[in-house]
Every structure is written in structure tokens, then in C-alpha cells.
């Protein structure tokens, strides 16, 4: 049970698809698999899950509650990237996917990211070199945008023009379950 506007309302688990999410506006909507009105997803709910954005079309499991304004997400249980997204960057397309997955997930922080330009840079903890991060890699990971200073985990490859992220995950979604982060 949760208290909302002075009323006790039950939390209901809902699975659905992200209709759209705009990190600049700070909200978006989810369409439930069981139908009904769209579910409001506020950026603070995403941040509590450890992300500041989510890709349109991503599968999402939420705990929701009814408010005076309609159904809203109270917390995120899980996010699965949109299906069918294939890598488009030649550096990644030309690599064996199993080889990428054998690369350790490294803790990193976003230096800057410009969604309009479609790229940005991050720094792996303890390393000074910049790592290129492309928006297509974010979408394949279920993210749509990154904020400066945001903590992430990423698999890094040596691309034709330098080091680049081949996979990006929200930091909080991997720290408790992925021992790979302890590797260097």
C-alpha cells in the first residue's frame, strides 16, 4: 500500500511498452499490455531505478497506482531494450557479438552526451581516455539519453577511430547482480 493524496491505494504490477519518453520534459507514457489508459512515467521514478531515460518501444514492468490524474508509475521493476534493434555502427557490426559480450563491463561516467548530435563521450573509472558513445548503442541498451556525470557500465571496444562503447547499461541495474564490474 502507498499513500497518495491522503488515500491508500494498492500498487498494481503492470507490464507494457514505452510509448514515448522525453527526458527534457521529464516524463513519458507507457501502454499496458492489458489495455486501458496510458500510464504516466515520471523521470523521478526512472531515476529511482537508476536511469534518466528509457528508449521508446522498450518493454517495461512497473508498479502503478491510481491518482486523481490517472494511473501513474510508482516504481520500475525491470526494463528490456526494444526488440529487433540491430547494431548499425560498422565497428560493432563487423565484430563477433560473443567477443563483445566477453569484454568486461566497466564502471564509467558520462562526460557529455548530445542526443541531437547522436553521440557523446564517457570516461571509464581510473582511465583518462575518452570513450565514444553513440545513440544507437544507447537504444540497443534500452536508453535514449544520458546526462553529464551519470554513472553507467559499458563494454568498450577498440573501433577504427578509437575506443568506443559497444554496450551501455545504467549503473544501478548491474551493480548488485553483475560480478563482471569487479574485473578490469
In the chain, pLDDT over 90 holds for what percent of residues? Answer: 43
| 3-class DSSP assignment, residue 98 | helix
- Domains of the chain by start residue, with CATH: 2-80 (2.40.50.140), 90-182 (2.40.50.140)
Which is nearest to 62 in space by CA: 95, 18, 110, 117?
A: 18
| Per-residue model confidence (pLDDT) at position 110 | 94
**Nine cell digits for residue 23:** 527526458
| Per-residue model confidence (pLDDT) at position 43 | 93
Q: What is the pLDDT confidence band of residue 4, given thresholds at 50, 70 and 90?
A: very low
Stated pTM of the model: 0.66
Q: To 10 degrees, the CA torsion angle through 65, 70, 38, 28?
A: -80
- Average pLDDT of the chain, as a whole number: 84
Burial of 109 (0-12, 13-18, 19+ CB in 10 A): middle
- Binning the chain into helix, strand and coil, the percentages to the nearest 5 are 15, 45, 40
Residues across the chain: 184
The pLDDT tens digits for 137-163 are 888 878 888 889 988 999 998 888 889
The pLDDT tens digits for 45-93 are 998 887 888 988 889 999 999 999 999 999 999 888 887 655 566 677 6
With a cut of 60, say whether residue 111 has pLDDT above it.
yes
The rounded distance, in Å, linking the Cα atoms of 80 and 82 is 7
Average pLDDT over residues 91-120: 85
Amino acid at each position: 500500500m502507498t499513500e497518495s493524496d491522503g488515500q491508500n491505494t494498492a500498487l498494481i504490477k503492470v507490464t507494457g511498452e514505452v510509448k514515448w519518453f522525453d527526458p527534457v520534459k521529464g516524463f513519458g507514457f507507457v501502454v499496458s499490455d492489458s489495455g486501458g489508459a496510458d500510464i504516466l512515467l515520471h523521470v523521478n521514478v526512472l531515476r529511482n531505478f537508476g536511469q534518466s531515460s528509457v528508449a521508446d518501444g522498450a518493454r517495461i514492468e512497473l508498479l502503478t497506482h491510481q491518482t486523481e490524474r490517472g494511473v501513474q508509475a510508482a516504481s520500475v521493476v525491470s526494463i528490456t531494450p526494444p526488440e529487433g534493434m540491430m547494431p548499425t555502427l560498422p565497428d560493432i557490426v563487423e565484430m563477433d557479438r560473443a567477443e563483445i559480450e566477453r569484454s568486461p563491463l566497466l564502471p564509467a561516467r558520462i562526460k557529455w552526451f548530445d542526443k541531437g548530435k547522436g553521440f557523446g563521450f564517457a570516461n571509464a573509472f581510473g582511465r583518462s581516455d575518452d570513450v565514444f558513445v553513440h545513440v544507437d548503442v544507447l537504444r540497443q541498451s534500452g536508453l535514449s539519453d544520458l546526462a553529464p556525470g551519470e554513472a553507467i557500465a559499458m563494454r568498450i571496444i577498440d573501433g577504427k577511430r578509437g575506443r568506443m562503447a559497444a554496450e551501455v547499461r545504467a549503473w544501478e541495474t548491474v551493480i548488485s547482480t553483475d560480478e563482471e564490474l569487479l574485473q578490469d
